[in-house]
Amino acid sequence: MQFDKVFKGTIVLEDEVLEKGYIGIKDGKTVEISVDPLEGDLIDFTGKVILPGAIDVHVHSFSNPEEGFAQTSKLAARGGVTTFVDMPYDLPNPVNNTGILKEKIIDLEKNAYVDIALWGTIAKRNGTGEIQKLMDEGVTSFKMSTFETDAYRFPKVPNDEIIKAMEILAETGIVAAFHSEDDEIVKGLSKQLEEENKTHNLAHAETRPPYTESAAALMLMEFAKWTGAKIHIVHASHPRTIELVKLFKEMGTDVSVETCYTYLLLDEEDLKEQGPPAKMNPPLRPKEDVEGMWEHLKQGNIDMISSDHIVWDIKDKEKGYENIFKSPSGLPGVEVIVPLMFDAIVSKRNMPLNTFAKLMATNAAERFSIKNKGKIAKGHDADFIIIDPDEEWTFVQENFETNIDLLPFKDRQFKGRIKETIIRGETVYDGRDMVVDPGYGHFIEGPEKK
């Protein structure tokens, strides 16, 4: 058989690694995988690792109106993220009705460099009637929160509304995901510290002790147990939360959990020393808790790793240097998550390449029913990252389009560099520049699209 393209290199499959393998591509799909040469236009990546394109399920393209799909998806492509799921908490309007969703899909098809699926959400009150309509238009899953960032855009959904939403979603099999922090405790502690003029960097962590996360997650999993809903806990930062998820899984509750790259690579000393660039919700935890997260990762108790990508104006972040509460929370991530986690998982901790692929792609595709994505397999989209596992590099501005003043990794050393990003068999990023136009990326319809 003559293939459109044949990629040669170290191929990371779901359960094995072909040290010298070939992938045959036709019409943007993986058609053949072999240890024997295949016929077609050969692209030789000998000495490089061919991984499934990363899937980042936690990206905020529109929380900052200066960003958007073109810029965010360009960063994703540069970072080896071939698919992401965009969060619904957009400015000015959250994706809680079909009118807003349809406008977002039009924008996506016009401006995206990578493939994108979309989260939906519900209004704070009386929003559950929109769930089926949003599913019919193609949302992949629904995101809600137990913490209120903004009463309209990013509300705390009352418990009775959460139960209603879970009951509806339980009938469909679509996942309900949650930002899990106790709103009352966080707001109360924040008010207390600000009144006491305690606005130092670690004050942010002091307003969000681990139990604010674990208690909220515990409540949500108990709701899921009684409603039969599939749920997902986003950006878990503490081993206690993972322990509770593991317990509920063992009891039969359908729950998954993600952590973010930041909770594996940083600790509260980074928040103490650097302040705003290391401020996020939930906050960074003590070093021993970070090691606890790594133990859970090794044991398979964490399902996936996300970025929780958001780009704030540097002027807004800098307000936190005098008062940490004045800085918005969150960091960029889609351009850095893959190389940083490759360094941490594969280069430093010698975990298997298959494990890296599952945490960064396969498990997300399976959990959120992202069809034909997430692994190198026959019939799947030919979405790949090409990584030189031996190349060492330094975290300096010339290596990134992201403003690294927003990140707490300056001048650190890493090993394993992205050389190319491929989507549907076509190179979108060649290690230096984007080589496709906006609009190459497509909307990925959810499992309930009719």
pLDDT digits (tens, 9 = 90+) for 185-220: 999 999 999 999 999 999 999 999 999 999 999 999
Residue 131 has pLDDT above 70, yes or no: yes
Task: Give the residue from 341, 367, 393 where a domain finishes.
Answer: 367
Q: Is the pLDDT of residue 252 over 90?
A: yes
Residue 141 structural domain: 53-367
| pLDDT at 162 > cutoff 80 | yes
Average pLDDT score over residue span 335-343:
99
Residue 413 has pLDDT above 90, yes or no: yes
Identify the band that residue 448 occupies on the pLDDT scale cut at 50, 70 and 90.
Answer: low
Q: What is the reported pLDDT for 65?
A: 82
Same domain for 313 and 399, yes or no, is: no
The larger pLDDT score, comparing residue 447 to residue 109, is at 109
> Residue 388 phi/psi, 5° resolution?
-90, 110
263 and 412 in a single domain? The answer is no
- Per-residue pLDDT of 54-67, as tens digits, reads 999 999 999 888 89
Pair (312, 342) in one structural domain: yes
Residue 92 lies in a domain: yes
| Structural domains of the chain, count | 2
**Do 283 and 422 lie in a common domain?**
no
**What pLDDT sits at residue 449?**
55
